Structure 1
Amino acid sequence: MFSRIMTPVDLAHLERLRKSLDVAAGLARQNDAPVTYVAVTSPEPGSVAHNPEEFAAKLKAFAQSEAQSHGIATDSKALVSHDPGVDLDKTLLKAVDEIGADLVVMQSHVPNLADYLWPSNGGAIAAHSKASVFVVR
């Protein structure tokens, strides 16, 4: 049913993503589809890495760990944005097309008042992507 799954991750908060990571791995096994883990960083040093190259290496190591842990094929794609907080949705939507993903599996959060004014990342991806989007709460 699905041929390529994309899963956005935040390397600084992997513990909060376990449900969506497990769902993505299960769907990957069920559909014999690879998972591409996508993460966005800025060119400046951050809490996860000193530079985009180190960030990409950490993301790749994470993807390899998920592959071994779940017995699935994985890949990683680190993207650089000058303002990830502002450009995140646009950057992720571009990645969906670049990867050729037909399913995006991403973690949600408990809705709050701000979600009535601004769409969540998952809502924005679902509204503007050609791929199916599975938002895990």
Structure 2
Amino acid sequence: MSTTILCAVDISNENRDIHVLQEALRLAGLHDDAQLDVITVLPDYGTSWVGSFFEKKHHDQVVKEAKKHLNALVEAALGSDVNAKVRHIIATGTAYEEILKTAELDKSDLIVIGAHKPDFKDYLLGPNAARVVRHSRCSVFVVR
């Protein structure tokens, strides 16, 4: 049985997710046939009033740039050989919703996510990580 691991990263934080990617790779290494997918989620400006000021080509340009940044981040963290095998996913929307939707569609066995930007009310677990943990149908590994 093949295993799919979905690792969620935030490309706007440059190298802050390197340790999250490395942990996802370590976990994938526990399964010989594991597929490592890496997702980053862009905010969706298209559904708000502000979004009406942007043409579709702007979103396409942002996605293209995000792919470059995601590719560079994964290569910096895991090396070019591993990066060539990773499936890079750029989603647009709310981070936790897109992570959960992608995990569901791809039948991921595990989601790896970092605990970022915690608010006191979130008690050391960022709001996106907390929501992914709470609503995921598969196991979630939170990297601190």
Q: TM-score, normalised by structure 2?
A: 0.72
Larger CA deviation: 102-111 vs 87-96: 102-111
Distance 1:63 1:19 in 2: 11
Distance 1:57 1:70 in 2: 16
Percentage of pairs with the same residue: 26
Alignment-derived partner of residue 92 in structure 1? 99
Question: Match of 1:35?
Answer: 36
SS of 1:31's equivalent in the other structure is coil
1:103 maps to 110
Find the aligned partners of 1:19 and 1:89 in 2 and give their Cα distance. Answer: 20
Equivalent residues in 2 for 1:58-137, closer than 5 Å: 58-63=69-74, 66=78, 68=80, 73-81=85-93, 87-109=94-116, 111-115=118-122, 120-137=127-144
Distance in 1 (CA, whole Å) between partners of 2:81 and 2:24 is 13
| Aligned length in residues | 129
1:5–1:36 CA contact under 8 A, matched in 2: yes
Over the aligned positions, Cα root-mean-square deviation in angstroms equals 3.1
Partners of 2:84 and 2:133 in 1: CA distance:
25
Bigger Cα Rg: 2
Gap change, CA 1:50 and 1:127, over 3 Å in 2: same
TM-score, structure 1 length as denominator? 0.75
